[in-house]
Structure 1
Amino acid sequence: ESMAEMPEEILVEGAKEWEHALVGFFVGKKIPFRSLFSVLHKKWSAAGKFSIHMAENGIYVFKCESAATRDWILNNGPWDVWGVHLALRLWERDMPPISSGFTKVPVWVKLMNIPMEYWTVQGLSRLASVLGTPLHMDPATEGKQLISFARVCVEMKADKQFPDVIKTRRSDGTLVEVKVEYSWKPPVCDRCKVFDHSTKGCPHKQVTKVEAQGKRTVPD
């Protein structure tokens, strides 16, 4: 078995190349690469320069010139191209490859009615973990500039629900209901447990065909 051992200095240098990058994909429909830059340039050019790099399985990497450009794009979404939602998340070193099928998708959520003692990174992350895997928070939430609500980007799974309320119990036993709003709810297929098409548009759904003897349901 052949293996290439990579020195840490090479990994550090490679990670630095992409430290201001975002990873994204379009949910439900593919967008032609040639059209993508011109559309996003109109939307994002005020924030700074960026380049687009196409990976496999419809995944794009958006390499930004600075952290400020990256954060502006991330925090001013959700974004779409021709009505097709662009799901975005931060690029991170050692991030596993995103496979086709889209069983997970990053979604910005707004948490409201949060007890004051929950306003720590650990506390907010614990709340958000009920929904999925917390990825990051917006600057206003991290800096506690506005504590009437928190915005957290959460990686949601297609086989999980999108609850409107998270229940939690304070130290005195009081039950608190934290309200949840979603910036966008992706179409999900209950049959395939993926986000790239809805149950109604599922290519594997059963169809009803009319025959001489009557109706019967048969698979495609």
Structure 2
Amino acid sequence: MDLANLPGSSSQEIGSEVARSRVIGSEDIRVEDIEGKDTKQVKEAILSQSWVSKAHDNKILRKYEVEVSTKDGKNKVEIPDEVITDSTPLWDDFVVGKFLDISPHPAKVHVLLSKIWKYGEINSKVEVYVVNAATMRFRVSNPKAREKILNRGMWNVVGVPMVVTKWSPKTEEEKQEETEFPMWVHLKTVPLHMYSWKGLSFFTSTVGTPDRLHPETIACTNLEEAKIFVNVDVSKELPKEIEFTKDGKEFTIVYHYPWLTARCNLCDKWGHTDKVCRKNGKKEETK
């Protein structure tokens, strides 16, 4: 674009305006924010905006001007909105992994997950913290990788299945025993006329809450076996096959759980062994 040919403005005025917009635009400072201010005020505005831009990209500490007032003999401070708005807790990038058996050595887990949880992001890091014999907490710095990890739900780590969910400080405080585990459920001998969203939802509702279909199943590349991701209810025995009836006709659906581990002999529940069962701990206390 030829600046000299623009109507109503000289090339010198336009050039200075463009130069000014470049400086302002680089820091997202609006023209009205600096018009009528002296050089010192302009510098402070630019530096302030520069800090805001940097704060979004880096995790840093800063000095706040805090006004402390005294009322009824107590020191009080009103928290400004900027401290709360767009503020992310330090624990927000944590996920928790609950193994369905005694967890592998933390060093092995760290080496493996540092490789497979990168998702192509070179700077993505994974930190491992041991909670107990069957639980680990992971800090995943990359939000995209963290989202993919949570979407998958179930992972096989050094031969031991692990359920990954979002972590929060209340997660460890509650210490509730899991009754549902997300896992892939494979169905065989599904009637072709019921190889549908409704049909597969109905069949897997007998073992838990259906969540999504495998891409292979959606593409219908293997009509002999349907794969559905289900939040399986492990508080009860899971069937290997079920007979269904419609209009007097019977057919059998075969269920397969690739991620399912042994059933606990103490509490008669799926998802863990007697080595990590709570009843085992209570039994030791009784002795």
- TM-score (normalizing by structure 2): 0.49
- Cα distance in 1 for residues equivalent to 2:96 and 2:192: 33
Contact 2:241 2:254 in 1 (8 A): yes
Q: Tell me how far 1:127 sits from its aligned partner.
A: 0.4
Q: Name the SS of the counterpart of 1:65 in structure 2.
A: helix
Aligned equivalent of 1:79: 156
- Structure-to-structure mapping, 1:205-216, within 5 angstroms: none
1:70 aligns with 2:142: no
**Structure 2 runs not aligned, ≥5 long:** 1-84
Mark the CA change 1:64 to 1:36 in structure 2 (over 3 Å): closer, same or farther.
farther
Aligned equivalent of 2:273: 198
How far does the alpha carbon of each residue in 1:119-159 deviate from its partner, in whole angstroms, 9 at most, with x for none?
Answer: 22221011001111212221111232322211112222332
Mark the CA change 1:51 to 1:42 in structure 2 (over 3 Å): closer, same or farther.
closer
Q: Name the SS of the counterpart of 2:203 in structure 1.
A: helix
Mark the CA change 1:191 to 1:150 in structure 2 (over 3 Å): closer, same or farther.
same
Q: Name the SS of the counterpart of 2:244 in structure 1.
A: strand
Mark the CA change 1:132 to 1:31 in structure 2 (over 3 Å): closer, same or farther.
same
- Cα distance in 2 for residues equivalent to 1:145 and 1:128: 20
The partner residue of 2:226 within 134, 138, 150 is 150
> Could you tell me the percent identity over the aligned residues?
22
Contact 2:114 2:126 in 1 (8 A): no
1:29 aligns with 2:141: no
- Cα distance in 1 for residues equivalent to 2:192 and 2:95: 32
Q: Tell me how far 1:88 sits from its aligned partner.
A: 4.7
The partner residue of 1:177 within 231, 252, 264 is 252
Contact 2:100 2:160 in 1 (8 A): yes
1:189 aligns with 2:189: no
Question: Higher Cα Rg: structure 1 or 2?
Answer: 2
**Structure 1 runs not aligned, ≥5 long:** 1-9, 208-218
- Cα distance in 2 for residues equivalent to 1:200 and 1:115: 41
Q: Tell me how far 1:105 sits from its aligned partner.
A: 1.6
* Aligned residue pair count: 185
Aligned equivalent of 1:39: 112
Question: Would you tell me which structure has more strand in proportion to its own residues?
Answer: 1
Aligned equivalent of 2:120: 48
- Cα distance in 2 for residues equivalent to 1:195 and 1:178: 21
Amino acid at match of 2:241: V
Question: Would you tell me which structure has more helix in proportion to its own residues?
Answer: 2
Runs (4+) of structure 1 moved beyond 6 Å?
A: 53-57
1:104 aligns with 2:180: yes
How far does the alpha carbon of each residue in 1:38-92 deviate from its partner, in whole angstroms, 9 at most, with x for none?
Answer: 21234455x533654779883656666369x938x949x85223x3222357x7x
CA-based RMSD: 4.3
- TM-score (normalizing by structure 1): 0.61
Q: Name the SS of the counterpart of 1:85 in structure 2.
A: strand
Contact 1:48 1:64 in 2 (8 A): no
- Cα distance in 2 for residues equivalent to 1:140 and 1:84: 25
Mark the CA change 1:190 to 1:125 in structure 2 (over 3 Å): closer, same or farther.
farther
1:116 aligns with 2:189: no
Contact 1:52 1:60 in 2 (8 A): no
- Cα distance in 2 for residues equivalent to 1:48 and 1:100: 35
Amino acid at match of 1:27: L
Q: Tell me how far 1:25 sits from its aligned partner.
A: 2.4
Q: Name the SS of the counterpart of 1:101 in structure 2.
A: coil
Amino acid at match of 2:216: A
- Cα distance in 2 for residues equivalent to 1:64 and 1:142: 27
Aligned equivalent of 2:205: 129
